[in-house]
């Protein structure tokens, strides 16, 4: 290793400029450049809102991939985990195979079930955060209540409430990342008198764990994924009588990845200790299993296309599947079987759900609810129902703006960008809100494929944006309004060809699930989303550089090139002077045909 040059040896100790009499043709306009190495990255403060899957990912990847960043992650709850901390209802579990619902860099071969329970997923997230020291950036019980852009200083002013002391304070950040997720804002049913009921009333996302359900008459409102998991769990309890008020028809799917699991001898939803041991002891074997699951999920994208062959096969298959399990009470099949396409609403496998509906202690009703009374509900036909407990499994406000004020350029509110439907650019940003990025925001989920990988790719995209801000002396990066409109047009046209706009109510849609715009999921497959987010289109953004004040003063936008030195030449221990010869840096083409080079042949993941 050659000795490094010291700062004094560069002989460039002062900020330089081109001035009058220089050999260039710029004239007398000063163009400042920085006397720093080319790798300089200005110090920035990044604030992340939320410490669920997305926020924890930021806590791992930002310190790994960026330097000179002051990171803070605010979490309103007293623990990390997001939806997997908040949702504690009986039966709460992942509705896709657990081995697809994890970080790519931290596979867990020890999931106890095909569909891991909420406590198990919550523990996984806590273990990941601890393993990679993400907790050093996380402030628990800190709730963001206001976010405001200050153009003069190009910073976000963030008002934060300490939920323990009740005090509020002001934070300032160069970049804000909203990692709140989609399943966060509780949606209560709009039933007159609900708040005045004199029996316990709880939402699936605000569960009362002290409640004893045994021997109780339980009313359950809803037919979505939460209800599909709650009903079989409560039905099994001793002495319960369930009245399920299900207004919407719904497809119940066979277990996802069923063929891949059966090929490895996995039957049902439990994974045997022997199988878990095999996964843990043989990483290649486990990788093959995970690969089979992901391939199957990505093949299934064709089911979302209206009138496709796979759509028809799925309808026939699921119809027979539901018919067999509801044979004891065929009238439920007649009501529950949809007339819309498979996938119009989020598919849920729901192990045990159909079997629970036909049990003697379960009644399924479809009449609309008109109002609540002290101990129950009244239906449209005048029927009065009495319960000991009422459960509202009515989901979340998925197309709603953040629950706190976000004011962008000229005080424009984020709420306006969500009405009548959310408008974003590639789900990560929207015009009028510089240096503000979203993870799992509008149009960020997927109909088929790995959601957590989509989240990772979004995080990677945002990190590339932060690096550009740092390195190129950019103080404001705002997506162009035309590109936001363009993405909305692309999405609107894409979804016309799919089943998502069939006659169903779904959290994928705006206006409480009944609108004509799809705002919950990406306009394409998961693989399409990964490729679209792999490399940012920098030309789709407007930039303001350090020193630009709007007066027309010109600054040197190439000032980031610095003083002609690399940091590894100047700072001892900062890197290898001949790093470009290391095997992991050398891009060696295949012989005799370069097009067979593995890293390029297996695109887009390897280069």
Number of other CB atoms surrounding residue 148 within 10 Å: 15
Q: Of 287, 340, 353, which is closest to residue 109 (Cα–Cα)?
A: 287
Residues 6+ apart with CB under 8 A from 159: 144, 145, 146, 147, 168, 169, 170, 171
Contact assessment for residue 247 and residue 311, using Cβ atoms and an 8 Å cutoff: no
Residues 6+ apart with CB under 8 A from 467: 41, 65, 66
Contact assessment for residue 441 and residue 427, using Cβ atoms and an 8 Å cutoff: yes
Residues 6+ apart with CB under 8 A from 245: 219, 220, 221, 222, 365, 366, 367, 369, 377
Q: Which residues of the chain have pLDDT under 70?
A: 1-33, 183-184, 398-399, 550-553, 603-607
pLDDT of amino acid 23: 43
pTM of the model: 0.91
CA angle 118, 123, 127 (to 5 degrees): 150
**156 sits in which H/E element:** strand 155-162
Distance CA(54)–CA(438), nearest Å, equals: 10
Q: Which two tokens stand for residue 339?
A: 């007339």
Rg (CA), the chain: 27
Listing DSSP states for 469-526 in one string gives HHHTTEEEEEE-HHHHHHHHHHHHHHHTTBGGGSS---TTBHHHHTSSSB-SB-SS-H
pLDDT of amino acid 551: 65
Residues 6+ apart with CB under 8 A from 170: 157, 158, 159, 160
366 — phi, psi (to 5°)? -120, -5
pLDDT of amino acid 604: 56
Q: What is the DSSP letter of 417?
A: G
Distance CA(159)–CA(162), nearest Å, equals: 10
Distances (CA, A) of 275 to 97, 98, 109, 363, 559: 15, 14, 9, 38, 58
Domains and CATH numbers, the chain: 44-185+398-542 (3.50.50.60), 194-253+307-340+342-392 (3.50.50.60)
Distance CA(230)–CA(362), nearest Å, equals: 13
Q: What is the pLDDT of residues 37-48, one digit of tens each?
A: 888 889 999 999
Distances (CA, A) of 54 to 62, 129, 143, 201, 218: 12, 11, 17, 31, 35
Q: Which two tokens stand for residue 314?
A: 């799925």
pLDDT of amino acid 599: 77
Label residues 576-596 b or e (16+ Cβ within 10 Å = b): eeeeeeeeeeeeeeeeeeeee
Q: List, in sequence order, the alpha helices (H) in 98-144.
A: 118-131
Distance CA(133)–CA(115), nearest Å, equals: 27
Contact assessment for residue 159 and residue 74, using Cβ atoms and an 8 Å cutoff: no
Distances (CA, A) of 490 to 67, 87, 423, 425, 485: 36, 34, 12, 11, 9
pLDDT of amino acid 26: 47
Q: Which two tokens stand for residue 123?
A: 């523990």
Contact assessment for residue 41 and residue 68, using Cβ atoms and an 8 Å cutoff: yes
CA 335 from chain center: how many Å? 33
The three-class DSSP label of residue 356 is: helix
- Would the CA dihedral through 372, 373, 376, 381 be positive or negative? negative
Distance CA(368)–CA(588), nearest Å, equals: 67
155 — phi, psi (to 5°)? -140, 155
Q: Of 13, 69, 15, which is closest to residue 42 (Cα–Cα)?
A: 69
Q: What is the DSSP letter of 554?
A: -
Q: What is the pLDDT of residues 4-40, one digit of tens each?
A: 454 444 443 334 443 333 444 444 455 556 788 888 8
The three-class DSSP label of residue 142 is: strand
Contact assessment for residue 452 and residue 458, using Cβ atoms and an 8 Å cutoff: no
Q: Which two tokens stand for residue 557?
A: 């936008």
Contact assessment for residue 590 and residue 597, using Cβ atoms and an 8 Å cutoff: yes
Strand partners, 162: 142
β-strands 362-365, 369-373: how paired?
A: unpaired
Listing DSSP states for 218-287 in one string gives EEEE--SHHHHHHHHHHHTSTT-EEEEE--S---BPPPTTHHHHHHTT--SSB--HHHHHHHHH-HHHHH
Q: Which two tokens stand for residue 488?
A: 């909305």
């Amino acid at each position: 290793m050659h000795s490094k040059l010291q700062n004094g040896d560069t002989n460039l100790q002062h900020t330089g400029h081109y001035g009058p009499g220089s050999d260039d043709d710029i004239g007398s306009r000063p163009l400042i450049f920085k006397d720093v190495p080319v790798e300089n990255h200005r110090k920035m403060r990044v604030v992340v809102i939320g410490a669920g899957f997305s926020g924890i990912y930021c806590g791992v990847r930002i310190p790994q991939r960026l330097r000179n960043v002051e990171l803070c992650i605010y979490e309103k709850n007293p623990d990390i985990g997001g939806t997997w901390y908040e949702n504690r209802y009986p039966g709460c579990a992942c509705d896709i195979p657990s081995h697809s619902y994890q970080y790519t860099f931290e596979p867990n071969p020890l999931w106890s079930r095909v569909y891991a329970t909420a406590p198990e997923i919550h523990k996984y997230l806590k273990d990941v955060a601890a393993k990679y020291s993400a907790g050093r950036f996380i402030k628990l019980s800190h709730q963001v209540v206001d976010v405001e852009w200050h153009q003069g200083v190009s910073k976000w002013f963030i008002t934060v409430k300490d939920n323990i002391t009740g005090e509020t304070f002001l934070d300032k950040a160069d970049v804000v990342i909203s990692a709140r997720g989609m399943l966060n804002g509780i949606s209560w049913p709009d039933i007159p008198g609900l708040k005045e009921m004199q029996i316990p009333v709880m939402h699936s996302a605000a569960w009362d764990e002290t409640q004893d359900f045994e021997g109780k008459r339980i009313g359950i409102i809803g037919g979505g994924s939460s209800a599909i998991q709650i009903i079989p769990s409560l039905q099994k309890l001793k002495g319960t009588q369930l009245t399920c008020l299900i207004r919407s028809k719904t497809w119940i799917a066979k277990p996802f990845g069923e063929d891949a699991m059966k090929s490895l001898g996995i039957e049902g939803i439990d994974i045997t200790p022997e199988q878990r041991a095999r996964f843990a002891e043989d990483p290649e074997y486990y990788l093959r299993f995970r690969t089979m699951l992901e391939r199957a999920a990505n093949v299934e994208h064709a089911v979302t296309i209206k009138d496709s062959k796979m759509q028809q096969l799925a309808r026939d298959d699921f119809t027979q599947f539901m018919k067999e399990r509801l044979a004891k009470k065929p009238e439920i099949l007649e009501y529950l079987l949809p007339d819309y396409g498979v996938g119009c609403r989020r598919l849920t496998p729901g192990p045990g759900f159909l079997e629970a509906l036909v049990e003697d202690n379960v009644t399924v009703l479809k009449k609309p609810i008109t109002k609540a009374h002290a101990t129950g509900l009244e239906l449209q036909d005048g029927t009065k129902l009495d319960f000991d407990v009422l459960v509202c499994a009515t989901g979340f406000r998925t197309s709603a703006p953040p629950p706190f004020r976000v004011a962008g350029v000229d005080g424009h509110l984020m709420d306006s960008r969500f009405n009548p439907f959310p408008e974003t650019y590639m789900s990560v940003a929207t015009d009028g809100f510089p240096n503000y990025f979203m993870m799992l925001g509008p149009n960020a989920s997927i109909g088929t494929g790995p959601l957590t990988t989509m989240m990772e790719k979004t995080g990677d995209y945002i990190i590339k944006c932060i690096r550009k801000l740092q390195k190129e002396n950019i103080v404001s990066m705002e997506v162009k309004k035309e590109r936001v409109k363009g993405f909305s047009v692309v999405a609107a046209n894409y979804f016309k060809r799919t089943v998502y706009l069939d006659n169903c109510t779904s959290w994928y849609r705006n206006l409480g699930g009944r609108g004509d715009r799809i705002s919950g999921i990406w306009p394409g497959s998961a693989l399409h989303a990964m490729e679209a987010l792999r490399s940012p289109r920098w030309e789709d953004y407007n930039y303001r550089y350090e020193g630009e004040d709007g007066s027309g003063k010109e600054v040197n936008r190439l000032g980031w090139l610095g003083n002609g030195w690399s940091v590894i030449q100047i700072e001892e221990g900062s890197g290898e002077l001949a790093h470009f010869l290391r095997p992991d840096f050398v891009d060696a083409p295949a012989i005799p045909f370069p097009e067979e080079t593995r890293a390029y042949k297996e695109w887009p993941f390897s280069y």
